[in-house]
Amino acid sequence: MEVRSYLEKKQKLVHRIFSNALSSGKVAHAYLLIGEAGIPLKEVAIYLAKSLVCDHGDPLADETCVKCQRIDKGEYPDFIFLDGAEGTVKKDAVSNVSSLFSQTALEEKGIMVYVINEIENMTPDAANSLLKFLEEPSEGTYAILTSKNEAKVLPTIISRCEKIRLTLSPRSTVVQEAVELGAEQDDAEILSYFFNDGGLVFEQASSDDYRIAKSALVPFLESLCEGPAYARYVMQKDVTPALFSRPTVRFFLDMLSLVFQDIATYQRGSSISLPSYGKIIADLAGKLPHVDSSLLSIMTLRGEAETNINSGLLLSHLVSVITKE
Ligand SMILES: [Zn+2]
């Protein structure tokens, strides 16, 4: 995604704060970017890190210089990225950053920057380690942290950071932008729930995880119209083998819960949020029993998918809870 134009158009406050800080040389040692699910916090955080070292910064990064490109490839030694979205950040990882960054910068720029995405997903030990590191800021070392859930972040960490809140774009705008960029309407409708930017939605529409999850979702929904026995068959024969990785299982369950929310909405007579799936939603609304409790079960299973290794078992359980009379 084009982070620079995203900031210019959608996150004017962030754009202004960083441009001013960089032009005046008054960059804070630690920033905490806060925003709701879907806001591209990780992308913005990495972009801001690039802006600190970019050769062509004016003052924000152009993303074409050698330094920006090395950051993208993970080949810039004075930049470290830890991702709480991919798994809980452990103490060792944070200690590693603080020991590497207690030495002198390796690059001539003399600036060391680390990004920790979704700091709410850290062990208490890791959070304490981070706090200690933030309490002793050294010259030329910068932290850019993000969180989707400020309530789960240690207040002492928050108070050490300059806090910046990003704003959510209306979903209809995101869908429209994505379609204008070339995304299919049905992809844009679903993905706009997970990615709050048209450019990002367009990119994600061709990602493997999404394509796989969608290729399992559509036949599964169709099989549910045919009754429990056929749904079990399709789940076993097509859906479970397709969803071979944990991210695809999660994506599948997230998408399925959106569709079930719409089925419940349709049954109440309100307007649905995935019109591209209108026909199948209407069909299922007339055929499925207890949609509200199924939705709850899907969400519970989605929580279990974070830790449960046996996705086959989880998915077969899913069919029984949805179809049992
Ligand atoms: Zn650059």
Structure confidence by residue, pLDDT tens digits, 224-262: 999 999 999 999 999 999 998 888 999 999 999 999 999
Amino acid identity, residue 83?
A: D
Sign of CA dihedral 285, 290, 291, 292: positive
Q: Which residue has the tokens 């559509």?
A: 218
Q: What confidence score (pLDDT) does residue 87 get?
A: 87
* CB proximity list for 89: less than 8 A, separation 6 or greater: 82, 83, 116, 119, 121, 122, 123, 126
Distance 10 CA to ligand 1 centre (A): 21
Range 280-284 average pLDDT: 97
Note whether 118 and 84 are within 8 A (CB): yes
* CA 108-110-113 angle, 5° bins: 125
Average pLDDT over residues 5-31: 95
What's the confidence (pLDDT) of residue 109?
85
138 has pLDDT over 80 = yes
CA of 44 from ligand 1 middle (Å) equals: 14
Distance from the CA of 64 to the center of ligand 1, in angstroms?
5
Distance from the alpha carbon of residue 119 to the mean position of ligand 1, in angstroms: 26
Burial class (CB in 10 A: 0-12, 13-18, 19+), 283: middle
Q: Rounded CA gap, 154 and 119, in Å?
A: 9
Give the containing element (helix H, strand E) for 58.
Answer: none
Q: What is the mean pLDDT of residues 109-122?
A: 95
Phi-psi map region of 59: left, alpha, beta (phi>0 left; psi -120 to 50 alpha): alpha
Distance of CA 275 to the CA centre of its chain: 24
Q: Is the dihedral of CA 209, 202, 79, 139 positive or negative?
A: negative
Confidence bin at 137 (pLDDT 50/70/90) = confident
The CATH architecture of the domain made up of 208-323 is: Up-down Bundle (1.20)
Ligand 1 centroid distance, CA of 60 (Å): 8
Q: Domain 3-165 class?
A: alpha beta
Hey, where are the domains in the chain? 3-165, 171-204, 208-323
Classify 305 as helix, strand or coil: coil
**Confidence check: pLDDT of 188 > 80:** yes
pTM (2 d.p.): 0.88
Predicted confidence (pLDDT) at residue 308 exceeds the cutoff of 80: no
Which CA distances in Å does 168 have to 84, 192, 203, 220? 21, 11, 19, 32
- Do residues 268 and 296 touch, judged by C-beta distance below 8 A? no
Could you list which residues have their CB under 5 Å from ion ligand 1? 54, 61-62, 65, 68
Say how far apart CA 295 and CA 229 lie, in whole Å: 20
CA 253 to chain centre: 15
Nearest partner of 61 among 111, 104, 133, 130, judged by Cα? 111
SS3 category, 73: coil
**Six-digit token pair at 186?**
């049905």
Q: Which three-class secondary structure state does DSSP give residue 86? A: coil
Alpha helices in 73-150, H assignment, sequence order: 91-100, 124-135
Taking the centre of ligand 1 as the mean of its atom positions, its distance from the CA of residue 5, in whole angstroms, is 15
- How many Cβ atoms sit within 10 Å of the Cβ of residue 75? 10
Residue 1 CA to ligand 1 center (angstroms) comes to 15
Distance 49 CA to ligand 1 centre (A): 10
